[in-house]
Amino acid sequence: MLNWDHIFATRSSRMRASEIRELLKLLERPDIISFAGGIPDPALFPDEAFKTAYADIFSGDQVGAALQYSVSEGYKPLREWLRGEMEKLGIPCTIDNIFITSGSQQALDYLGKLFLSPKDTALVTWPTYLGALQAFNAYEPNYDQLSLSGNRTPESYKAAAEKNGGAVKFAYLSADFANPTGETVDRAGRERLLKLAEELDIAIIEDAAYQSLRYDGEPVPPILALEIAEKGSIEETRTIYSGSFSKTLAPGLRVGFVVAAMPVIRKLVLMKQAADLHSSTINQIAITHVAERHFPEQVAKIKSAYSARRDAMLKALEKYMPAGTTWTKPEGGMFVWVTLPEGMDGAELLARSVETEKVAFVPGQAFFADRSGTNTLRLSFSCANEAMIDEGIKRLGRLVGGAIAAAA
Ligand SMILES: Cc1ncc(COP(=O)(O)O)c(C=O)c1O
C-alpha cells in the first residue's frame, strides 16, 4: 500500500479518529444502558411538523427554488426569523449579521480557518467540546487554558502564545450548559471574559448550541448581548455567536447559524462560497416552516422531557454514588460531569463497565486539550428514560464503589 504520510499536508497528522468514538460504536447494543451519546432523543423530534413542511414545499410553487442553488448567506426568511429570536435574547442586529451554516460544527471549522495560523493559540476551557478541538486541530494551533475566574493575567496568556511562536486569536467556550460539564458561566464570569478579550484584543466564540435548553434557574444574558449593551452596536463587538437547530428541532437537517459583526460575516460568506456554496436550500426552508409555526411548543416539549431525566439522574447519583465522587448540577442541556477520586481512570472504568455492568458513558480525558482529566466522566441523560437512568446509575455506583474499595 502507498505510504501517504509524506503526501498528506502536515495538518492531517492531527486528524485522528477519537478512540472514544471508535469505542462508542460498539455501544449501540440493546443490552447496554448508554449515557454516552449526547444526542437528542429522536422520539422528541417534531417529525409531523417536518412532514407537513416538506409536503407544503413539494406541493407549492416553491419547489423549484427549494431544489435550486441559493445564496451563501442563507435563506432570507430564516434569517428574518432568527433576527426576531436574537432580539428577544438582547441581541439587536440586522439580517446581514446572520449567516446560515451547515450545522454549528461548520461554523467552528470556518472560525478555526479564519483565525488560526499554524502555532497561534486558541483559549479553551479545560475540559471543552471535543468537536471544537477536532475542528480547530486542522489549523495546527496551540491551546491554552481559558480561566474564567480571572486568576490569569493577559500578559501570561500573551507570553505563553509568543513562546509557542504565535499569537492568541480567540477564546472559545460554551457558556450555557456546556458540553461536557453541563455548567453555565455566570454573568460576572462573562464580564471578566469580555474584559480579558478586550485586553488581549482577541475574538470570543460563544457556542450557544444548548442555550434554549434551560430547565430552571435564571437565564444569563448571552456574552454577545452583554457586549452589545456595553458598546451600543453589534458592529463594535468582538463576540461571535454560534447557534444551532440541532438540539431544538433536528440535527439531521444540518442547519446552524452565526451572528456577528459584518467584517466577520463577510469573510464567512466567502469561505462558504469556497467550501460548499450554501447550506441545503430545502432544509433551510423546512426549518423556517417548522420554526415559524412550532418553535416555542417544541422547545417546551423537549425541556419538559429532558428536565425530568436530569432530575432522575441527579437523584440517582445522590442515591448510589459512593463518597469521594462529585458531580455537576446542570440547570439545562444534556450532561452531568462526574469527578472520581484522583488516580482513577475513566477509560479503564468504561471497559469494565461495559463488560460487567452493561453501562456506557464517555471518559472525560478526550475533552481536555492537554489530555488531563483521566478521573472524569461525562454522563448524558438525553436519551434514557427515568427507570433506565435509575438502574444505570445504580450499576455505575456499584462499579465505582468497588473500584474505590479495591484501590484503598
Ligand atoms: C457544544 C457543541 N457545539 C456544537 C455542536 C455541533 O452541533 P451541530 O453541528 O449539530 O449544530 C455540538 C454537538 O454536539 C455541541 O455539543
Res 14 pLDDT > 90: no
Q: What is the pLDDT of residue 19?
A: 59
Nearest ligand 1 atom to the CA of 39 is 14
Annotated domain spans of the chain: 10-46+296-407, 47-294
Q: What is the pLDDT of residue 31?
A: 87
Burial 5-28 (b: 16+ CB within 10 A, else e): eeeeeeeeeeeeeeebeebbeebe
- Cα(33) to centroid(ligand 1), Å: 23
- 52-59: average pLDDT: 97
Res 372 pLDDT > 90: yes
Q: What is the pLDDT of residue 315?
A: 98
- 232-242: average pLDDT: 98
Q: What is the pLDDT of residue 24?
A: 65
CA within 13 Å, CB half, 300:
4
Q: What is the pLDDT of residue 174?
A: 97
Helix axes 386-407, 281-320, angle to 10 degrees: 50
- Cα(101) to centroid(ligand 1), Å: 12
Q: What is the pLDDT of residue 37?
A: 85
| Test site for ligand 1: of 179, 211, 254, 276, most ligand atoms within 8 A of the Cβ | 179
Strand partners, 168: 121
For residue 22, name the pLDDT band (cuts at 50, 70, 90): low
- Cα(104) to centroid(ligand 1), Å: 6
Name residues contacting ligand 1 (CB within 6 A). Answer: 38, 103-105, 129, 131, 174, 179, 207, 209, 244, 246, 251, 256
Q: What is the pLDDT of residue 15?
A: 79
- 356-367: average pLDDT: 94
Residue given cell 466522566 in the structure block: 377
The span from the CA of 83 to the CA of 221, in Å, is 16
- Cα(105) to centroid(ligand 1), Å: 6
The span from the CA of 357 to the CA of 174, in Å, is 32
| CATH class held by domain 47-294 | alpha beta
Percent of the chain with pLDDT over 70: 98
Q: Report the CATH number of the 10-46+296-407 domain.
A: 3.90.1150.10
Nearest ligand 1 atom to the CA of 210 is 1
User: What length is written for the chain?
Assistant: 408
- Cα(128) to centroid(ligand 1), Å: 12
Which cell is 384 given? 434514557
Mean pLDDT of the chain: 95
- 100-126: average pLDDT: 98
Res 18 pLDDT > 80: no
The span from the CA of 396 to the CA of 90, in Å, is 42
Residue nearest to atom 3 of ligand 1 (CA): 209
Res 10 pLDDT > 90: no
The span from the CA of 269 to the CA of 265, in Å, is 6
For residue 26, name the pLDDT band (cuts at 50, 70, 90): low
Q: What is the pLDDT of residue 222?
A: 98
Q: What is the pLDDT of residue 23?
A: 62
- Cα(165) to centroid(ligand 1), Å: 30
For residue 21, name the pLDDT band (cuts at 50, 70, 90): low
Strand partners, 232: none
Which cell is 183 given? 455548567
The span from the CA of 162 to the CA of 190, in Å, is 25
Are the C-beta atoms of residues 210 and 104 closer than 8 Å to each other? Answer: no
Q: What is the pLDDT of residue 30?
A: 83
pLDDT in tens, 295-319: 999 999 999 999 999 999 999 999 9
| Test site for ligand 1: of 246, 247, 254, 334, most ligand atoms within 8 A of the Cβ | 246
For residue 408, name the pLDDT band (cuts at 50, 70, 90): confident
- 322-330: average pLDDT: 97
Residue nearest to atom 16 of ligand 1 (CA): 179
The span from the CA of 328 to the CA of 253, in Å, is 31
Res 255 pLDDT > 90: yes
Q: What is the pLDDT of residue 184?
A: 98
Res 136 pLDDT > 90: yes
**Contacts with 181 (C-beta within 8 Å, 6 or more apart), sequence order:** 127, 328, 330, 335, 337, 378
Given this chain, do its domains 10-46+296-407 and 47-294 carry the same CATH topology? no
Res 369 pLDDT > 70: yes
